[in-house]
Amino acid sequence: MNIPQPHYPSPLGRMQANPMDVEATKRQGWQEQHILVISEQDTRLNFLERQLIRSIGERLYGQSHHASPNSPKRGQHG
């Protein structure tokens, strides 16, 4: 005789995180609290905008510990 196994839902199933829409979270942060989150490598920015973001970040938080491989170091040109 084949007896079906009872199905017990795992309580861990409710604990799974829902995927976060990062762009929506950034948008909401800006619209509601004027908090701006920008990556220096955001492809929507032009060269001057990326340089401005880097300059602001370095002034407020210091230089990053890792430079991107294709970005020149301070004082060097391409």
The per-residue pLDDT for range 14-54, each reduced to its tens digit, is 777 788 899 999 999 999 999 999 999 999 999 999 999 99
Show the domain range for 47.
38-63
Question: For the chain, how many structural domains are there in total?
Answer: 1
Residue 72 domain-assigned?
A: no
Structure confidence at residue 73 as a pLDDT band (50, 70, 90): low
Residue 58 domain-assigned?
A: yes
Distance CA 76, CA 19 (A): 41
Residue 57 domain-assigned?
A: yes
Residue 52 domain-assigned?
A: yes
pTM of the model: 0.57
Residue 55 domain-assigned?
A: yes
Distance CA 49, CA 40 (A): 9
Mean pLDDT of 47-64: 95
Predicted local confidence at residue 67, as pLDDT: 59
74, pLDDT greater than 70: no
Distance CA 43, CA 53 (A): 13
Distance CA 45, CA 39 (A): 9
The CA-atom distances, in angstroms, between 57 and each of 14, 19, 62 are 39, 28, 7
